[in-house]
Structure 1
Amino acid sequence: MLTAGMLTASSTPVLAQQPGSVITVATIGEPPTLDPVGVTADLVSIITQHVFETLFTFDAEWKPVPLLASALPQVSADGKSYTIPLRSGVTFHDGSAMTADDVVASLERWTKLSPRGKSAAAMIEGIAAKDGTSVVITLKEPYAPLIALLAMNNGAAVVVPKAVIDGANPLKALTGTGPYKLLEHKPDQYIRLVRHDGYASPPGAASGYGGKREAKIGEVRFVPVPNAATRVSGVLAGQYQFADSLPAEMQSRFKTTPNVKPVIVKPFGFPLMIMNTKTGVLANPKLRAAILQAVTPGDMMLAGFGDPAFIANEGSIYGPGTVYYDAASAKAYTQQDPKKAADAAKAAGYKGEPIRIMTSTQYDFLYKMSLVAQAQLQAAGFTVDLQVLDWATLLQRRGDEKAWDSFFTYHTFVPEPSLITVLNPSYPGWWDSPAKREALAAFNREQDPAARKQKWVTLQSLFYSEVPTIKVGDFYNLAAATDKLKGYTPTPWPFFWNAELAN
């Protein structure tokens, strides 16, 4: 599932662990927080996954595997009790040993603060330590997505010392168990992570995010570089050893620079035009349906990426070849008609109110898509107020239900549909109709894979009839790295343990 070119492991002697080695990573901007629990922003996940860890993670085939747990849970026959054994010898960055009490406190915090944790909380009867070596999660009813939710690295159920948890407030200290620890953070300048010498790696061969983790590079430095062209120029000049989220059309610049290689992740994700179903003009589902008729996703995808090799005009939330692919319930994706959209908007009672759309140039492809959407909506008779914000401001403002009507973002591929943020009623957009609530509950209760597929079709049908969000298509991510970076594993959320820099 995770593919990319030209970056492979090496056993060359010059790649021995280098305590003083530093990799500088150019990211799309300044993260809004370094506490990964309360937000689902990928930028936060990319950085904080080096510092904090969860009980489980995903391997190269997107299967859940143990991380801080020593094995997958023992699940009771009725599906309501999950007993999770914990690894011994795990220490936090402050030198203290991880205990079952730390895990319980961390999971309870997750259920209160995380959008993902809140969705699980409704199903959780209790969380308790057992014999000091395991944790038991008791459910009110069977809940199939639980392990995947515990493994996800954004809105993450990270384990921290109980002593640094201050109720619903921010952590008293950013103390985790990961292979790197926070050394210094200068907002809008850099975040410096250094090797945690007391790190206890999970056993087994490295696979995806699972298995062995070794901090071979002494320091990972994340630098916010909002302008995509600047990220490209910097990696070509050797200022950065890795640059993330680059415009597809810039791949050609790497062909004449032998010391920089493209990194392509496929599948990667899907752009979304999320609508406010709770407040404002788009709380009317008929008007949201008119918006879907007015915009052409294929035009937005081509404008956003330029190169057709990086995109697929696919309406099914899960594409061909995946378990949950279903074309029939996504037919509305290709049924655009500006005239019918204008008529539908008028019938829905639209009187020219501004549609406030938030976007950001820090994700160049999202900005270009928003320009196309603006033009197509205006052509169908809508009034559009396009608001161009920095990404951190957009993330902050989207939590205010009165501040916007729509915003552009993207979702990274996830193996479990319940991990898709727009299904969570607490995620901005707040999709929570009675029909959707019932369909999602039925899907989450179902344990049989074939039956889950059919219940997912019901959910996707609601996605296109109630139109809480427009899926724009599928895209593949382009990054770039120095050819001195060896052992790097291309993934949707890039990580740098197990990688090393050649002398």
Structure 2
Amino acid sequence: MKLLAGALLSGVMALGAGSALAQQTGGIVNVATIGEPPTLDPMVSTADLVGIVTQHFFETLFTFDKDWNVTPLLAESLPEITDGGKVYTIKLRSGVTFHDGSAMTADDVVASLKRWMDLASRGKQTAGNIDKVEVVDPSTVRIVLKSPYAPLLALLAFNNSAAVIMPAGKMANPLTEPVGTGPYKLKERKPDQYIQLVRYDGYKPRSGDANGYGGARKPLLDEVRFVPVPDPNTRIEGAISGQFDYVDSLPVESYDRIKNLQTTKPVLLKPFGWPVFVMNTKQGVMANIDSRMAVRMALSMEDMLAAAFGSKEFYSLDGAMYPKGYVWHSEAGTEGKYNVADPDKAKALLKKANYDGKPVRILTSRQYEFHYKMAQVAAEYLKQAGFSVDMQVVDWATLTQRRADAALWDIYITHSPFLPEPALIGQLSESSPGWWSTPARKQAVDAFNTESDPKKRPALWAEVQKVMYVETPSIKIGDFNALSAQSPKLDGVVPAPWPYFWNVSVKK
């Protein structure tokens, strides 16, 4: 983790320590997002948008500090780990209350973790490694593993498919009453208009300073309003006019328009992450490994990135799952399989696959405009290779719903920040849309996940990457930088892949 932190700290994406000292309290912040979240239940969704909103009112036992180390949040401290890495004993913070006024206890935590293992893709991923989760006493929880599982704490800390803590009596599925422990609480949701959060006066911050997503979280604002703005041009104009105090996910070509304005200023996260084409390995055209490899051989990553981001200031060609400078960086498996753009090789693979001309359904959204632009370029390259293509352009909420049904798509387009633990990558979970489940995957991923020695894990990750290139459950397109915008009136905003607004105030 510390080696990884060095890479993150070299760019704007490093999470600043921050401090709420001498900041004003009060005020309302309007945040423009890429659309309406499909749910406010962070367990059942891997959509970043859901995590961005719900991290303000739901919390996890652990989170990540400014150096991307796991740090306690609702837990009092990091767990005591015994029995060769198989037993995690977790002490809970005292005095934490839910938004309904009830005190958080170990019963709530155990019930929440069991719900997470039943419903969340990352919870299901973890459940097979867990023997039991039990109450030790009202302020202590014990997790007993079947064998050592290195990603456990990172999975418990992640805000995506998140192991959030809810009251034991308020865990309906689907969730009907979102009640958490966070610095803000949900007051009102008007679909396609806004999600209104208000300060939770009963919130008890951790002591000390802010530290990335960890440390003290202080609810300084009266309200945070998340406003869905699906059209990227409308988000740009809303930033320029000052209509919104923070605007998430702007097209990078708007950078020159906003960089010298009085009403807003750019927030550039560099490096941010990677766009990815996820394959439906369960059924349909992409269930055939040769068809998936044909897609890989057909595509020009360079042309897709250029169409999506324009200037090379905002993207770079890179087949490795992590860029140079990260402890996880490896070129293993990429040789001759990245940015090939060879229609003849693709045609040969299609012939081997006995492809019958059935359209490849590419599921994408214009709310992330760069997804759509890459899909347009990809479609042309796939047609050259002999594929028939059906582009399905939907809103992001619909995409996240459709991708859960294997009968409805063949490829969907998404993106991810560079995550501190590779096990957090969604495509590694057999229950994540794409449903990659093969003996080679199991052997490589299990070896990586069960190795607790940090010095040995990078080489094992390289083996996972090799299998990903051979079996092609997904295709990384390259590396990219992300652009957002914020009002100069905001104080305390720390550039982060999932923007947050505790410890943020409005200058008066």
Deviation at residue 456 of structure 1 after TM alignment: 0.9
C-alpha distance in structure 2 between counterparts of 1:87 and 1:11, whole Å:
22
Q: Name the counterpart of 1:457.
A: 462
Question: Which string of whole-angstrom CA distances, capped at 9 and with x for unpartnered residues, describes residues 130-161 of structure 1?
Answer: 12111000011111100000000010000011
Match of 1:16 in 2: 24
SS of the residue corresponding to residue 329 of structure 1 reads: coil
Secondary structure of the structure 1 residue equivalent to 2:269: strand
Please report how far the alpha carbon of residue 341 of structure 1 lies from its aligned counterpart in structure 2 after TM superposition. Answer: 1.1
| Pairwise CA distance, 1:433 | 0.7
TM, length-normalised to structure 1: 0.96
Report the Cα offset of residue 201 of structure 1.
0.8
Whole-angstrom distance in 1 between the partners of 2:200 and 2:407: 43
Partner residue in 1 for 2:240? 236
Counterpart mapping for 1:183-332 below 5 A: 183-331=187-335, 332=337
Q: How does 1:380-391 map to 2 (within 5 A)?
A: 380-391=385-396
Q: Distance in 2 between matches of 1:137 and 1:11?
A: 35
Q: Is the 8 A contact 2:332 2:465 kept in 1?
A: no
CA distance in 2, matches of 1:285, 1:444: 25
Q: Distance in 2 between the 1:224 and 1:465 partners? A: 39
Matched, 1:128 2:134: yes
Structure 1: distance between partners of 2:126 and 2:240: 44
In the TM superposition, what is the alpha-carbon distance from 1:272 to its structure 2 partner?
A: 0.6
Question: SS at the partner of 1:351?
Answer: coil
- 1:44 & 1:12 partners in 2: Cα distance? 29
Are the aligned partners of 2:299 and 2:340 in contact in 1 as well (CA < 8 Å)? no
Deviation at 1:12, TM superposition (A): 9.6
Q: How does 1:163-202 map to 2 (within 5 A)?
A: 163-166=169-172, 169-202=173-206
Cα-to-partner distance string for 1:420-459 (whole Å, 9 max, x where unaligned): 0000010111001111011111111111122211211111
- Secondary structure at 1:303's aligned position in 2? helix
**Correspondence for 2:339:** 334
Which residue does 1:413 correspond to in 2? 418
- 1:397 equivalenced with 2:397 (yes/no): no
Asked whether the 8 Å contact 2:35–2:367 carries over to 1, the reply is: yes
Could you tell me whether the CA contact under 8 Å between 2:299 and 2:339 is conserved in 1? Answer: no
CA deviation after TM superposition for structure 1 residue 205, in Å: 1.8
Cα distance in structure 1, aligned partners of 2:69 and 2:395: 35
- Within a 5 Å distance, the mapping from 1:323-362 to structure 2 comes to 323-331=327-335, 332-362=337-367
Contact 1:10 1:486 in 2 (8 A): no
Alpha-carbon distance in 2 for matches of 1:140, 1:287: 37
**Unmatched 5+ residue regions in structure 1?**
none
CA distance in 2, matches of 1:311, 1:4: 15
What is the CA distance between 1:11 and its match in structure 2?
A: 8.2
Query: Residues 11, 421 of structure 1: CA spacing in aligned structure 2 closer, same or farther, 3 A cutoff?
Result: closer
Query: How far apart are the structure 1 equivalents of 2:415 and 2:20?
Result: 37
Q: Return the match for 1:113 from 105, 116, 119.
A: 119
The residue type equivalent to 1:309 in the other structure is E
Shift in Å, 1:4: 3.8
**Once the 2 structures are TM-superposed, how far is the Cα of residue 319 of structure 1 from its aligned partner?**
1.0
The equivalences for 1:131-150 within 5 A come to 131-150=137-156
Alignment match, 1:473: 478
The answer to whether the 8 A contact 1:352-1:383 is kept is yes
Q: Distance in 1 between matches of 2:20 and 2:187?
A: 29
Tell me how far apart the structure 2 counterparts of residues 65 and 10 of structure 1 sit (CA, whole Å): 17
Give the counterpart letter for 1:85 in structure 2. K
1:498 to 478, 482, 503: 503
Identity of aligned residues (%): 52
Deviation at 1:330, TM superposition (A): 1.8
Show CA shifts across 1:240-266 (max 9, x none): 011000010101111341231100112
Give distance in 2, aligned partners of 1:56 and 1:474: 28
Cα displacement string for residues 212-266 of structure 1 (whole angstroms, at most 9, x for unaligned residues): 1101111000000001110010111111011000010101111341231100112
Would the aligned equivalents of 1:102 and 1:160 in 2 still touch at CA under 8 Å?
Answer: yes
Question: Which AA in structure 2 matches 1:278?
Answer: K
Deviation at residue 170 of structure 1 after TM alignment: 2.2
Contact preservation (8 Å) 2:319, 2:338: yes
- 2:5 paired residue number: none
Q: Name whichever of 414-423 and 329-338 sits farther off.
A: 329-338
Amino acid at match of 2:456: A
CA deviations 1:277-318 (Å, max 9, x no partner) are 010111110111111000011211111111211112111111
Contact 1:145 1:416 in 2 (8 A): yes
Residue 443 (str. 1) matches residue 451 (str. 2): no
Deviations 1:70-115 (A, max 9, x none): 1101111411100011000111111111101110100110000000
Whichever residue aligns with residue 348 of structure 1, its letter is A
**Which residue is 1:486 aligned to?**
491
Cα distance in structure 2, aligned partners of 1:160 and 1:77: 29
Contact 2:278 2:474 in 1 (8 A): yes
Amino acid across the alignment from 2:117: T
1:78 counterpart = 2:55:
no
SS in 2 for 1:216: coil
Quick one: distance in 1 between partners of 2:321 and 2:212?
A: 23
**Structure 1, 217-226 or 344-353: larger mean CA deviation:** 344-353
Q: 2:19–2:209: 8 Å Cα contact kept in structure 1?
A: no
Residue 203 of structure 1: CA displacement? 2.3
- Could you tell me how far apart the structure 2 residues matched to 1:163 and 1:170 are? 14
Report the residue type matching 2:154 in the other structure: A
Tell me which amino acid in the other structure corresponds to 2:212: G
Instruction: Tell me which amino acid in the other structure corresponds to 1:400.
Output: D
